[in-house]
Structure 1
């Protein structure tokens, strides 16, 4: 099954990584509440049109962009691709560790750690050098 490209949304002048989205209906709101119960670090970012968008509660929403990334993160993006790095970072929201994420992408644990950190930088989180 192909992995969808990460979705970012602009809100209040910042860019946020959307970890899940649900229809803005009674059943969609129920599903989003169930998702947030299973993933306590997810929260409602905003309701946009007919969609409820969830993001990670620690996402400060200031995407650093590729030009401001650390050298380690640039290498990870070059080696594994921005989509893999962002998806690896997104999987940490569910409580997955580097070992589990490494198995998902056929990487070593060190490579998964680098991909997670690069994804965090791309999403606007804190950089760990």
Structure 2
């Protein structure tokens, strides 16, 4: 797979439901799909909380995962944002860079940044 891979927005959900199991499962599923069922290794995974165009919070999710999983969501740390006020319109963006270990002639392919966006409503 060459070039950047565009991940569509999951959609608009009520803020209080932004981190419900269903949405979390969708995020996890998308990440697994776009890293060959979780075999890719993320170098960087950040959750960016925006109000309008202003970034009000940025969290590096990888550092929260002591086991080094390729999908930090397994450990539930993505739900850290529940500790903050998300009952206002915000856009939360997950930015990933996946390095896929494909063994074709000993080469390792690197994929570009991918983004998953959740827009929340009050």
Query: What is the TM-score of this pair, normalised by structure 2?
Result: 0.25
Higher-strand-fraction structure: 2
Query: What is the TM-score of this pair, normalised by structure 1?
Result: 0.24
